[in-house]
Amino acid sequence: MCPCPYHLQEKLVGTRINPGRSCNDILIRRGGQLRSGPYWVTFESSAYPYYVFCDMETAGGGWTLVTKVKGNDVLMNRVNAAQWRDGRLMGSTTNLVNENALGLAYTALQFRDVMIRSLTDGRKHLAWRHPVTFRSIQSIVKNCTRISNGYKLSGSIQQLDYKGNPIYHNDCTELVYGFMGGDSSHATTTVAGCAKGHKHGHTGAVIGAFLDPPSGDRKTPNQDFKCISDFGIGGGYISMTNLVGRYAINAHYWSSGNSNTNSWNSHGVFVR
């Protein structure tokens, strides 16, 4: 942040005196060359400036941090209605400290683009774009709205931050990106209170990548067989009866379930 005199801060977008409307707004209005870090924004629904971490470098920059989800942790999985459905704030989204967190941007920031990235390495990311602007991530989740029209901008599931054999992180060739994805034929499982799920194991993700339409045990002509067909943050395995099945960051590897794709490091979700 700028250690500038008070009279110069008045002209500098992204300070408490002159907050931007989002991290992307700050990046554009300050010429497109900024370091990542905390900046001040004022969301449309908030009457006061809000301090938030901005990724100004990954995949074009301008990303506002919405939530942080710890890897190999159960707190932010699909049964946590307090956060995913209600948008109850927790932790801090002003930094990339390894913790579970949910910030005001989750309920208040409009967006088209979404990015999931490692908390420690911005090169490990997956970013996509939707053709329309959404009011907020919470508005999608709260209404149980399945969104499957996102297309990839940068990165891949293979590049995300995980431990284990890379062979189990191949992307299926027909993945789409969005929200509440999964196989609705298994409607007995829920994601944050919504009836969604994958009948082979991985529940529909709150935020992530999946096949659409979900093909279940049918194989579409251009689809790989041994690949990740569902990946998500805010999900969980179908039965949730064992520890790895309850992890909030989860993936379904076609023909191998969750057994080889459950060891993810912590990631943040960003929008712009």
Are 121 and 161 spatial neighbours (Cβ–Cβ below 8 Å)? yes
CA distance 155 to 113: 13
The verdict on residue 1 lying in a domain is no
The verdict on residue 152 lying in a domain is yes
246-268 pLDDT, tens digit each: 899 988 887 777 888 889 999 99
The verdict on residue 259 lying in a domain is yes
Whether 39 shows a pLDDT value over 50: the answer reads yes
The verdict on residue 223 lying in a domain is yes
Whether 183 shows a pLDDT value over 70: the answer reads no
Predicted confidence at residue 193, as pLDDT, reads 55
The verdict on residue 184 lying in a domain is yes
| Number of domains, the chain | 1
The verdict on residue 67 lying in a domain is yes
The verdict on residue 248 lying in a domain is yes
Predicted confidence at residue 6, as pLDDT, reads 45
127-173 pLDDT, tens digit each: 999 999 999 999 998 887 888 899 999 999 999 999 988 989 888 88
Domain that residue 91 falls in: 6-271
225-247 pLDDT, tens digit each: 788 888 889 888 777 788 888 89
Binned at pLDDT 50, 70 and 90, residue 194 comes out as: low
Predicted confidence at residue 121, as pLDDT, reads 97
Whether 191 shows a pLDDT value over 70: the answer reads no
Predicted confidence at residue 8, as pLDDT, reads 47
How is residue 16 written in tokens?
Answer: 């408490």
Binned at pLDDT 50, 70 and 90, residue 2 comes out as: low
pTM attached to this predicted model: 0.89
The verdict on residue 81 lying in a domain is yes
